[in-house]
Amino acid sequence: MSKPATIHGIIKGARAYLPEINEERIFMAYEYAKRAHDGQVRSSGDPYIQHPLEATKILLELKPDETTIIACLLHDVLEDTDMSSEELEKAFGPNVLLLLKGMEKLSTVYYRGKERQVENLRKMFLAMAKDIRVILIKLCDRLHNMKTLQYIPEHKRERIAQETLTVYAPIASRLGIYRIKNELEDLCFKFLYQEEYDRLNDELSNDLGVKKGIIDSSKKILKKTINKADIDGDVEGRVKHVYSIFKKLKRKGKNYAAELYDIFALRIIVDTEEQCYQTLGIIHKNWKPLTRRFKDYIAVAKTNGYQSLHTTLIGLCPDIHQQPIEIQIRSREMDEIAKFGIAAHWHYKEEDGMSIVLDQNKLSWVQNLVNLHESLKSNSEFIESLNVDVFQDRIFILTPKGDVFDLPTGSTAIDFAYAIHTDIGHKCKGAKMNDKIVSLDQPLENGKIVEILTRNQPNPNRYWLSFIKTSHAKNRIKQWFAAQGSDDMVKVGKDMINNHLKRYNQPPLSPDLNILANYSEKKLNMKQREALLEKVGNGSVDVISVIKAVLPLDKIMKKTTEKNMAKDILTEGVKFDEDSEVLITGEKGYQTQIATCCMPKPNDDITGYITKGRGVTIHKSDCKTIQGLDQKRFIKVSWSTQTTNEYEVKLLLRRQSRIGLLRDVAAVFADNELPIIDLENRRTAGTDVGEMIITANFDGLDTLNSIIEKLEQIPGVFGVKEID
């Protein structure tokens, strides 16, 4: 058993790779943590301060920067003690506090036994962390907790071990930190499958002498062979870790490790990539390889940046002449990455001002990290690019039962309800976020628990269409209205148009619906007018588009009153705003604010409403919120010519499924700095052909045409077109 960690040992370990480290600052962090945790005791009986010391000792293997070491020593202070954020920021600065806040957020992420939600839970974990260093601290924190899990009450052990195996170990694997990943898995195996662990561990222990002899003998033979070729390489050997052997037994349907030939591996570590291939040629010349077992992870690296050559030889060790033995060949740099993953890249100075964040196209399972590594000039640049805000356009919402749902940023309770199930969406009547009632149009917050309140019968509301974000919810709502009876929809459509006519001080529809006759270029007959009402009622035709066609806005807002309204604004103590993007009656200078209920964007048709003391609130012309308001306070507004000409477009891609297609499509938008608002992927049953619907913002027709042209050049894309 290793000696207990001490602050002096940690400072000594840090000084070995950070010679200019501020030792006083590290010691001060220890003193703060010790004072904050004074009187607290771990389940093991140790003083609580021993836990952050042990976690930091583990962290030192990853060679972190000074800020990360300090944050690790203090990582439980915000959550478990009375020490304030202000005190910590004053003592250690905003960068340390940022990491501590990240640790505090991650304390809300739990695995609740829903296997189908595991991937979303991992994504949520990463999205909430924001900074890779937070994840590394959390992994070290969890590893020490797993090492002391025997002291936890038995009923909690299984939950913690299962959560670790399901969430933490895979994240360590995806970041390439195999040392931590392997140790976490073995500890989880011990507590989750005690009987299998004991049996397999006993078998390996009993056979350890034989295996060690084979490994030692093979190491000497390999070392001698490569030295003859003037290659100065190191040869290592090990029995594979016990959980990986257990998984292999399950996969192959076997019961005993003796039935496996590849439970130990030899590793040759050389100086350069070129020597890796030279070494491969030498050992293949001397021993027979199993060709089906050869893997070149140098030419095609794993998604977490792992690189090695893997081969399996027959006849290497005289003691077991026909026993296949697995060999890994890698450079010293590759070996560092294999052990420490992303952390192997971060040998940098504190003054570099690292913000370790993970770009959307550069997370391990989105794009191969090795491509990123090759494209960057330095380790510092690599770390700067690693932004864990991969999901910056996504939020992760939990149900009260622990299911995790991945939604676009800005999604509401209605979007969430339809994501759970169409029936839940149809019956939604309210929502709670972390047990507090919220309005249905309020954007949900990342990591919150949201409960949907339902009624007995379905009753969707067309108003929802004005604020929901996801095409899935919009389509389900429109489908519901389209499925309702024709007569009912005609009546609904008539009521909707009458409400708008009333708003503009116009008479209601006459029995012959005469005003609708002028809706299109052709005169509509009575049957066509009723069909139009039905389309308005079921949501397939927007009511405001009908109003605009039959009743132009210049008849609704009379110019004679607009100038008077502008004068009214000035008399209400409203400040001028020269930077306003909106013109009031054609003039700049009036204070405006964008309505949060409908959030109009440039190119939306807009209406102004005078708000006493606050200037003019800008609404979409079809915003439901302004219905029934005082007509005298409406005023004509328009977007300034300087406003960015940005508009939302939906593109339909016909495509053939292939690995990497989604990445290539996303890269076209990322390269042009265009955000993807929504993406829907669907496949024709029984085929590999399907469609992808992408919603994005464009700043002009030239950009749109350029993007369509680039998308059509992607292998596997048959065609691209704009849709409504």
Q: Decide: 188 and 163 in contact? Cβ < 8 Å.
A: no
Chain centroid offset of residue 342 CA? 18
Catalytic residue, chosen from 31, 79, 271, 648, is 79
DSSP conformation letters of 230-244: T---EEEEEEPPHHH
Residue 703 to residue 707: CA distance in whole angstroms: 6
Q: Which amino acid is at 641?
A: T
Residue 681 to residue 101: CA distance in whole angstroms: 36
Which H or E element spans position 647? strand 647-656
Active site residue 80: yes
Task: Give how far Cα 686 sits from Cα of 413, 425, 655, 659, Å.
Answer: 34, 29, 15, 18
Residue 246 to residue 257: CA distance in whole angstroms: 8
402 three-state secondary structure: coil
**DSSP annotation of 667:** H
Residue 459 to residue 313: CA distance in whole angstroms: 68
Q: Which amino acid is at 106?
A: L
Q: Backbone dihedral region of 691: left (phi > 0), alpha (psi from -120 to 50 degrees) or beta? A: beta
Q: Decide: 707 and 668 in contact? Cβ < 8 Å.
A: yes
Catalytic residue, chosen from 80, 350, 393, 699, is 80
Active site residue 87: no
Task: Give how far Cα 676 sits from Cα of 304, 659, 706, Å.
Answer: 25, 20, 16
Residue 480 to residue 130: CA distance in whole angstroms: 39
Nearest Cα neighbor of 660 from 381, 175, 404, 300 is: 300
281 three-state secondary structure: helix
**Which residues belong to the active site?**
79-80
